[in-house]
Amino acid sequence: MVLLIVLTLQTMLILDVSVVNIALPDLKVALDFTPTGLSWVLSSYLLTFGGLLLLGGRAGDVLGHRRGLLIGVTIFTAASLLGGLSDSAAMLLAARALQGVGAAFAAPTVLALIATHFTDEKARAKALGMYAAVSGSGAAIGLIGGGLLTDWLSWRWVLFINVPIGLALLITAPMFIRETERKPAGFDLGGALTSTLGMTALVYGFIRAAESGWGDALTLASFAAAIVLLVVFVFIETHAKQPITPLRLFADRNRATGYLSLLFVMAAGNSMFFFLTQFLQEVRGFSPIQAGLAFVPLAVLILISSSVAAKFLPKAGPRVLTAVGAAAMSVGLIWFAQLSPEAGFASAMLGPMLIAGLGMGTLLVGVTTILMSGIAPEETGAASGLLNVMQQIGGALGLAIMVTVFGAASRGAADEVPAGLDAKGSADFVLTEGVTMAFAWGAGFTALTILLTLIMRSVPMGGGAEQGAEDAPEQSGSPTQPVSSL
């Protein structure tokens, strides 16, 4: 029952991005979102989730992980209900941000409760294997589920579906999960708030620039606020006794380049899902169910390629896997950048989907191993938490940059619409031009990841291809199995 409860929670949190993704075109019409403003439906969740994730993990240590789970699920469930009842864009975005707060408190408890309730090594290994399977298949389940809910009911049910699940968790968790030992620690509220607000201001600046241009006063003010807040954040973290973000982890060359690589791949991956969803439904006329099913090959390839890459990891080494994965993603995104309004799914989209999925799964295994190698035992939790933070924050920031590219390309395309197109044809042309430009920039980001692998140090893999390579003194630990983060 403990395993069922925590895996249900993990599934709910994993699904919340992909299940909403499929409903984006319906959301845009229902709540009158602008094409660029629509990205906030994802970014508002990712920013609060990522920005407060380390604080949520600390809260679980201090208050007890069962209590942390209950607090997080309560907030998440209430926010889901509020989101489903939304009658304006502002109300929905507030609900999505609140969902992120709940997720930040609930998500860190999953692995912690598995560790405390499954003390036998074999039982714990089985539990972690099921956790990895849920995490890996969650995207595909969310895409299909989101399509079914949106098509058969309405977009509101991609949010309402969390309410009965959340209530079931709140009832059963106190019955079957024992409270964990509390650990005294401080709360770095200043660091958590300044980092979250700073990243939000930065993302807002990019999205505002997409709508109003780089010379807009509010755009410039947002970037200025972001700089001030992030500088204050760094100051707080360098002086705090118990900082929420251990900045010393960035001092290592491998981890600094690894975090940047992770940002690039999340930027490319999130934008691929975001823009393809709209292209399939708005340009090609797919129903939400059809759009969800169209993404299944991509999600399956991510899962398969990550498993295969993990087996090749000892021989090839994480740098090679990262470079190969980034190259495959670049090829897939360049292929996507050739889309036209008349593009067929089988002839023009299935191929790049499979290649991009192959690359993403391979790259994530490589970069996760790089980030988690050589970590001192007492810093494993902080490093793992920071990796997850970078996934969420990187996804939000990368999507904002891509939306800026999309907005600029769309405005330019509006002045170059071919003669003879009707209103639908003109709209399809403009959206396609913006989408393909975003894909081209995504390919540029993944290509930069290949260059980053050239300045990474080799990671010893116990007799593999990179064994014996020059390494830093602190690189003495063994790499942590990366599958759970996928």
Q: What are phi and psi of 214, to 5 degrees?
A: -75, -20
Dihedral angle over CA of 474, 475, 477, 481, nearest 10:
140
User: Between the CA of residue 449 and those of 254, 260, 266, 454, what are the distances in Å?
Assistant: 13, 8, 11, 9
Domain end point (choices 239, 259, 275): 239
Task: Convert 15-35 to b/e letters by CB count within 10 Å (16 or more is b).
Answer: bbbbbbbbbbbbbbebbebeb
Same domain assignment for residues 215 and 275: no
Residues 318 and 444 in one domain: yes
Q: Are residues 125 and 35 in the same domain?
A: yes
Mean pLDDT of all residues in 71-94: 93
Residue 228 predicted with pLDDT over 90: yes
CA 41 and chain centroid, separation: 13
**Tell me, what's the pLDDT at 375?**
64
Q: What angle do CA 120, 309, 17 make, to 5 degrees?
A: 80
Q: Based on the domain organization, do 157 and 219 belong to the same domain?
A: no
Whether 382 and 472 share a structural domain: yes
Structure token pair of residue 404: 């800026």
The residues, ordered by sequence, that sit 6+ positions from 291 with a Cβ below 8 Å of its Cβ are 22, 143, 147, 277, 280, 281
Alpha helix stretches (DSSP H) within 177-216: 189-212
Q: Give the chain's domain count.
A: 3
pLDDT at 163 over 90: yes
| Percentage with pLDDT > 70 across the chain | 88
Q: How many residues does the chain have?
A: 486
273 contacts: CB under 8 Å, gap ≥ 6: 18, 21, 295
- What's the pLDDT score for residue 481? 36
**214 and 171 in a common domain:** no
pLDDT band at 185 (very low <50, low <70, confident <90, very high): low
* Strand intervals (E) in 276-390: none
Token representation of residue 63: 């208050």
Whether residue 28 is predicted with pLDDT greater than 80 in this model: the reply is: yes
For residue 201, give its domain range. Answer: 189-239
| Residue 79 sits in the same domain as residue 166 | yes
198's tokens = 């700073």
Mean pLDDT, residues 253-269:
82
Q: What is the pLDDT of residues 43-81, one digit of tens each?
A: 888 888 877 877 787 777 778 888 888 999 999 999 999
Domain final residue, candidates 179, 205, 239: 239
Q: Which of 203, 223, 239 is the last residue of a domain?
A: 239
Write the CATH number for 123: 1.20.1250.20
| Verdict on whether the full-model pTM lies above 0.85 | no
| Signed CA dihedral, 472, 478, 480, 483: sign only | positive
Residues 67 and 54 in one domain: yes
